[in-house]
Amino acid sequence: MRLLVANRGEIARRVMRTARDLGWTTVAVFASPDADAAFVNDADIAVPIGGPDLAESYLNADRILEACAAHGVTALHPGYGFLSENADFARRVVDAGIAWVGPHPEAIASMGSKIDARAIAERAGVPLIPGFGDAAVQDDATLAEHAGAIGYPILVKAAAGGGGKGIRIAHSPEQFATALAEARTEAARSFGDDAVIVERYIERPRHVEVQIIGDQFGTVLELGTRDCSVQRRYQKLVEEAPAPNLEAHTDEGLRSAAVRLGAAMGYDNAGTVEFVVDADTGDFFFLEVNTRLQVEHPVTEAITGLDLVELQLLVATGHPLPLTQDQVLPVGHAVEVRINAEDPAEGYAPQTGPVELIHVPVWRDGVRWDGAFDDRGEVSPFYDSMVAKLIVHGSDRAGALSKLASVLDDTLIGPLRTNVGLHRWLIDQPEFAEGRVTTRFLDEHPAPPPPDPARAVGPAGRAVDAHRAATGTGPWGQLADFSVLAERAPLGAILRDHDGDLHDYRPPVTGHDALTRYDPASGLVCVNVDGHTVSLHVVDRADAWAADPSRAGGAAGDVIAPFPAVVVETPAAPGATVAAGDTVVVVEAMKMLHSLTAPGPGTVAEVRVSLGDTVETNQVLVTFTAEDQQ
């Protein structure tokens, strides 16, 4: 078998890992910014499919199908995102005689439309959130009328939506018109379709989902629940399995509803049925079905011991599921945190740049790292900000969280800023620890600011010094603090923080040690402070102390004629502010023009020459007002 993974980053690597385990050949397709990416190196065959523009590469069905044909691909796994829920693409793959690792295209198509999905769910007896959605009925008045009947607060969202786009909330009839207009505009922009649905807005919603998997013989199994309530901007950050604190009847109801819905669709691969659970009542309502493997699938794998990609490949190639519902026996509790290149304290602003250092204790039992790279890599601005997923498995929820805390305290990722510190902080928040968070948690609880880099200077300086002391075999390399006096006051490393501020390390510094890694080649030092990675760079003193260019050369001196010449230009006038290097007079001598420049920044006091003047060597042409006299 030869599997092409039409995706990139960590998910491409994760899918290929299982394929390789099964003895399959793996084919990667990649866009030019990913030429050196780990997933490209992992693959047996790697096919370039275009430039950074998504439409040209990872969304380019033609190029991907060409690659399939050129390399004799027998199965295609779409990963998540990109073309994974594109029914047309799935159809073309199937028509090309290639096994599509996903549900049949009709299932994708029907679940891709919120309106169709609601209809199918309703028929399968899956509770729907009270609402109204009809692509044909979109006039303002009718929608407002339905909103009134459902009862406020009301959620207005794009019918073709996803990813949190095209969603607005109206708390009262007065807000409805605005919410509707905004949702439509965003829906049209994001999805090319401005149809919306209206539904009840749940004040304290939890996001709970059920993993299902079906085969081509009519079997649909559920593999348990997941809670993905910790979200920012409607994107999941933390996922766990099973969902905590569910009443037995809720839990049972969710799982049976998911299987009913799967069966109704003739579902024949891995999928996720998403629900919103009202934290106050335990009522649950159908949200949508994701007709693909999800980012958070590893938590289900951790507790069931199953390899979901393996099952996907099996059923996609026409095999029956190798187990029955009775054989699905979840053990313990698993938590996944998404490690994103973003700065939570700055409104989760995406970060791009190199990752030069990753230290994660993946060797510990029950710790899994699904990363786009293992040690170093680059986060480019073209793609998603998710760098990796870290999954821990414990015997129960408290154990899993405790292990996660300990793993995050032993984790460093730098110098790119990520949200690891946010995850560490989250574990200490009582609502999360008690399993009571709703999807609004991070909106209501601002992310903690990054720690003061000064706290990392001591450990970082010690790490740098320890390395220096260990370099070279001779005494000059090893006797770091040697002195014939009782003591010295050596100047340690100078460290530059993320904001460019400089910190002097003066040993010895007392205080407890923190997890620290130093890469002498790049000068990068990463220190774990409260679970955050603080990245510092060792700066050569010459650079640290280099003159500030804005005051280069100190006060401006006079500009004098270097040789006899004729003045041909006087661009600076008295009172003009000049920077060092600005031309103030141009003279001509020996048929050559010479620009005479300001030696430093300042204000022109006097221009003592005019055009056409002949000047002598050392004649003062322009004077300046000293800066400190201004």
Q: Binding residues for another protein, per CB under 8 A?
A: 464-465, 468-469, 472-486, 488-493, 540-548, 551, 553-555, 557, 599
Closest alpha carbon to 453 in 528, 348, 521, 520? 528
Q: How far is the CB of 244 from another protein (least distance, A)?
A: 50
Judged by beta carbon, residue 464 or residue 584, the one nearer another protein is 464
Q: How far is the CB of 586 from another protein (least distance, A)?
A: 20
Query: What letter represents residue 517's amino acid?
Result: R
Judged by beta carbon, residue 555 or residue 586, the one nearer another protein is 555
Judged by beta carbon, residue 399 or residue 553, the one nearer another protein is 553
| Structure-block tokens of residue 367 | 């710790």
Closest alpha carbon to 388 in 356, 364, 420? 420
Distance CA 528, CA 407 (A): 11
Non-local (6+) Cβ contacts of 474 within 8 A are none
Judged by beta carbon, residue 69 or residue 469, the one nearer another protein is 469
Q: What backbone torsions phi and psi does residue 626 show, to the nearest 5 degrees?
A: -60, 145
Q: How far is the CB of 488 from another protein (least distance, A)?
A: 7
Q: How far is the CB of 544 from another protein (least distance, A)?
A: 7
Distance CA 459, CA 471 (A): 19
Judged by beta carbon, residue 319 or residue 541, the one nearer another protein is 541
Q: How far is the CB of 251 from another protein (least distance, A)?
A: 59
Per-residue DSSP letter, 249: H
| Structure-block tokens of residue 328 | 């699905």
Q: How far is the CB of 519 from another protein (least distance, A)?
A: 16
Judged by beta carbon, residue 21 or residue 481, the one nearer another protein is 481
Closest alpha carbon to 147 in 135, 160, 133, 159? 133
| Side-chain-side CA neighbours of residue 338 (13 Å) | 23
Distance CA 249, CA 177 (A): 38
For residue 350, with 0-12 CB atoms within 10 Å meaning exposed, 13-18 middle and 19 or more buried, which class applies?
A: middle
Judged by beta carbon, residue 247 or residue 543, the one nearer another protein is 543
Judged by beta carbon, residue 364 or residue 541, the one nearer another protein is 541
Judged by beta carbon, residue 214 or residue 492, the one nearer another protein is 492
Q: Are 116 and 333 in contact (CB under 8 A)?
A: no
DSSP line for 481-520: T--SSS-------EEE-TTS-EEE--S---S----EEEET
Judged by beta carbon, residue 141 or residue 542, the one nearer another protein is 542
Q: How far is the CB of 541 from another protein (least distance, A)?
A: 5
Non-local (6+) Cβ contacts of 435 within 8 A are 227, 244, 245, 397
Q: How far is the CB of 441 from another protein (least distance, A)?
A: 45
Q: What backbone torsions phi and psi does residue 52 show, to the nearest 5 degrees?
A: -65, -25
Q: How far is the CB of 235 from another protein (least distance, A)?
A: 44
Considering Cα of 161, then 167, then 170, then 174, what sign does the dihedral take?
A: negative
The residues with which 603 forms a beta bridge, in sequence order, are: 577, 625
Q: How far is the CB of 495 from another protein (least distance, A)?
A: 11
Judged by beta carbon, residue 329 or residue 466, the one nearer another protein is 466
DSSP line for 346-396: GTTEE--EEEEEEE--TTSTTEEEEES-SS-EEE-TTS--EEEEEEEEESS
Distance CA 101, CA 2 (A): 12
Q: How far is the CB of 464 from another protein (least distance, A)?
A: 7
The residues with which 165 forms a beta bridge, in sequence order, are: 162
Distance CA 588, CA 585 (A): 10
Q: How far is the CB of 52 from another protein (least distance, A)?
A: 39
Judged by beta carbon, residue 305 or residue 472, the one nearer another protein is 472
